[in-house]
């Protein structure tokens, strides 16, 4: 019997769990995948938006600006990567100046600080690789870039440290009323809870519609991205947007917190909630449009491409609060961009709602800080030498592209809510995320995973389920 069950271990669910762990309650997060951060939260633009996009007065606008303001402090408390780089929205012809002005006005109305419209000269000076036809830009100094995995995992680990339970590979199949509140049916049995938080991403409509007569619809809006090598990481220093259109913020070009360059996304509405396949047209469009915003884009440096699904709700608004006719069932739905930015504020809002509902008391043992995986690259040479003397595994480089050591990988596997798969290790340590895309390190990481988890090599997966890396041994069928 739980006080709260949170469905979904993406960034909204984990932020909510972390905020709820401030209170005395039995909390459990149910996640259908094998790890946290496996859906929308892992495949997005990794941007902390300033907050000028969303309609003034909307919940989206409010939580975006709140989230943006919380980000820096939170990144220190929870030890994840965040950098306030600023962003630019480019205006590429004089006729569009009105739209730029509109964004500027909306941003001011939303409470975004420091907005400025730059003329061509100022723009060039700030960002030399910007396209020649950009005539002006909206500069938002409060925008930034964040590690989406890092943030999601940080929320989860901090929640876990404060007593929240996580159940992975646990898919919700039905929700019904029970004496205490709700009975949640899963592939791993039934769980009773007083309160449910629906943070199921692109499946939030399915979960919501199990309990409420007022139906909602979440449309997966697919976005293709290309990630470029670190050699291209300094091509721009800020997040570069085109002017928004009906499908959102268009194709952006941005540095990542790890020094790569990211371009994307497209915006295609699809039916398949698992449809994270990139398409030839999509990838071509990404590179073409990105080339319109910045010049001399080194397209030869693409190291990987991926697609993510935004959980698009038809009114383009966050749905946060108790569902109609379903007391104790709290939606956290329609969390599309700027959902990552807003997540700290979303978590606080959800937690506040649940606290009031269940009259939760504060948890005096709550610890609001968390230590991430030790990154030796950030240490001084002296400290690093000392570390290796004490723990030799930190002297052993496993991922040569990202210079990730065995020590970091062991930490990633052994810590609470640790990595169980190659992708889990990758999201936590970056091993396999570099220019060779795990070509060299995957056999080594498999070995470490097998050793540390007491598994066979043949049981090691890319991302849980049936994603085994090897299928047998040589000549086993001959």
Q: What's the closest the beta carbon of residue 127 comes to other proteins, in angstroms?
A: 24
276 φ, ψ (degrees, to nearest 5): -95, 30
Rule CB under 8 A: choose which of 105, 274, 314, 361 binds other proteins: 274
| Integer Cα distance of 168 and 186 in angstroms | 11
- Among the candidate windows 14-22, 333-341, 362-370, 398-406, which touches other proteins by CB under 8 A? 398-406
Q: What's the closest the beta carbon of residue 148 comes to other proteins, in angstroms?
A: 17
| DSSP conformation class of 361 | P
Residues 35-48 as b or e (16 or more Cβ within 10 Å = b): bbbbbbbbbbbbbb
450 scored as a contact of other proteins (CB under 8 A): no
| Integer Cα distance of 435 and 446 in angstroms | 19
Could you tell me whether strands 82-83 and 144-146 are parallel, antiparallel, or unpaired per DSSP bridges?
antiparallel
30 scored as a contact of other proteins (CB under 8 A): no
Question: 3-state class of 420 per DSSP?
Answer: coil
136 scored as a contact of other proteins (CB under 8 A): no
442 scored as a contact of other proteins (CB under 8 A): yes
270 scored as a contact of other proteins (CB under 8 A): no
Q: What's the closest the beta carbon of residue 25 comes to other proteins, in angstroms?
A: 35
| Integer Cα distance of 80 and 83 in angstroms | 10
121 scored as a contact of other proteins (CB under 8 A): no
User: Do residues 169 and 34 make contact, with C-beta atoms less than 8 angstroms apart?
Assistant: yes
174 scored as a contact of other proteins (CB under 8 A): no
| DSSP conformation class of 445 | H
Q: Closest CB to other proteins among 125 and 475?
A: 475
Q: Closest CB to other proteins among 11 and 438?
A: 438
Q: Which residues have a catalytic role annotated?
A: 49
Tell the residue number behind the tokens 């001399």, with chain if given. 296
Q: What's the closest the beta carbon of residue 384 comes to other proteins, in angstroms?
A: 5
Rule CB under 8 A: choose which of 306, 312, 326, 410 binds other proteins: 306
Q: Closest CB to other proteins among 352 and 439?
A: 439
470 scored as a contact of other proteins (CB under 8 A): yes
Q: Closest CB to other proteins among 364 and 471?
A: 471
For residue 170, give every residue at least 6 positions away whose Cβ sits within 8 Å of its Cβ, in sequence order, or none: 30, 31, 32, 186, 187, 188
Q: What's the closest the beta carbon of residue 434 comes to other proteins, in angstroms?
A: 10
Kindly report whether the peptide bond that precedes residue 265 is cis, defined as omega within 30 degrees of 0: yes
471 scored as a contact of other proteins (CB under 8 A): yes
Q: What's the closest the beta carbon of residue 300 comes to other proteins, in angstroms?
A: 8
462 scored as a contact of other proteins (CB under 8 A): yes
Q: What's the closest the beta carbon of residue 187 comes to other proteins, in angstroms?
A: 16
The structure tokens listed for 96 are: 């569009």
Tell the residue number behind the tokens 């440096």, with chain if given. 301
Q: What is the helix (H) or strand (E) element at residue 72, kind and residue range?
A: helix 59-78
472 scored as a contact of other proteins (CB under 8 A): yes
Counting residues that bind other proteins (by CB under 8 A) gives: 58
| Integer Cα distance of 19 and 21 in angstroms | 5
- How big is the chain by its Cα radius of gyration, in Å? 22
Rule CB under 8 A: choose which of 137, 143, 267, 303 binds other proteins: 303
Rule CB under 8 A: choose which of 132, 381, 416, 454 binds other proteins: 381
378 scored as a contact of other proteins (CB under 8 A): no
3-state SS track over 127-194: CCCECCCCCEEEEECCCEEECHHHHHHHHHHHHHHCCCEEECCCCEEEEEECCCCEEEEECCEEEEEE
- Among the candidate windows 88-96, 144-152, 194-202, 466-474, which touches other proteins by CB under 8 A? 466-474
Count of beta carbons in the 10 Å neighbourhood of residue 80:
22
Q: Closest CB to other proteins among 352 and 465?
A: 465
User: Which residues contribute to the site for other proteins (CB under 8 A)?
Assistant: 226-227, 231, 274, 276-280, 282-283, 302-306, 381, 384-385, 388-389, 392-397, 400, 403, 406, 435-440, 442-443, 457-458, 461-478
């Amino acid at each position: 019997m739980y006080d709260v069950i949170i469905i979904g271990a993406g960034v909204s669910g984990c932020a909510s769990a972390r905020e709820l762990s401030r209170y005395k309650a039995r909390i459990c997060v149910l996640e259908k995948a094998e790890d946290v951060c496996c859906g929308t939260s892992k495949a997005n633009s990794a941007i902390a938006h300033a907050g000028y996009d969303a309609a003034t007065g909307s919940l989206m606008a409010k939580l975006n600006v709140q989230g943006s303001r919380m980000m820096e402090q939170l990144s220190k408390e929870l030890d994840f990567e965040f950098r306030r780089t600023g962003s630019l929205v480019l205006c590429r012809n004089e006729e569009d100046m009105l739209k730029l002005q509109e964004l500027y006005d909306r941003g001011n109305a939303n409470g975004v600080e420091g907005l400025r419209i730059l003329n061509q000269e100022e723009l060039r000076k700030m960002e030399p690789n910007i396209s020649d036809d950009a005539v002006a830009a909206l500069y938002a100094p409060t925008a930034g870039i964040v590690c989406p995995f890092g943030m999601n995992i940080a929320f989860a680990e901090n929640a876990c440290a404060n007593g929240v339970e996580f159940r992975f590979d646990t898919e919700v199949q039905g929700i019904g009323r029970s004496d205490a509140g709700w009975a949640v049916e899963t592939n791993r049995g039934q769980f009773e809870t007083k309160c449910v938080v629906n943070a199921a991403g692109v499946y939030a409509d399915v979960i919501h519609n199990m309990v409420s007569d007022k139906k909602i619809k979440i449309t997966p809006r697919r976005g293709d991205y290309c990630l470029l090598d670190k050699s291209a990481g300094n091509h721009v220093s800020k997040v570069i947007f085109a002017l928004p259109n009906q499908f959102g913020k268009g194709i952006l070009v941005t540095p990542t917190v790890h020094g790569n360059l990211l371009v994307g996304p497209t915006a295609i509405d699809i039916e398949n909630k698992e449809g994270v396949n990139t398409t030839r047209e999509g990838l071509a469009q990404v590179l073409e449009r990105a080339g319109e915003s910045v010049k001399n884009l080194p397209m030869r440096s693409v190291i990987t491409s991926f697609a993510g699904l935004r959980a698009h709700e038809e009114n383009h608004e966050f749905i946060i609060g108790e569902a109609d006719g379903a007391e104790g069932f709290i939606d956290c739905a329609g969390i599309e961009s700027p959902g990552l930015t807003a997540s700290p504020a979303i978590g606080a809002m959800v937690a506040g709602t649940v606290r009031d509902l269940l009259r939760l008391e504060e948890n005096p043992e709550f610890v609001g800080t968390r230590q991430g995986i030790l990154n030796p690259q950030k240490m001084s040479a002296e400290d690093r030498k000392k570390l290796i003397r004490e723990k030799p595994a930190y002297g052993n480089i496993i991922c040569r592209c990202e210079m990730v050591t065995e020590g970091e990988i062991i930490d990633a596997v052994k810590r609470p809510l640790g990595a169980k798969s190659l992708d889990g290790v990758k999201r936590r340590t970056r091993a396999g995320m570099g220019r060779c895309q795990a070509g060299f390190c995957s056999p080594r990481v498999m070995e470490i995973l097998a050793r540390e988890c007491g598994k066979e090599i043949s049981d090691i997966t890319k991302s849980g389920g049936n994603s085994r890396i090897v299928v047998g041994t040589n000549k086993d069928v001959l």
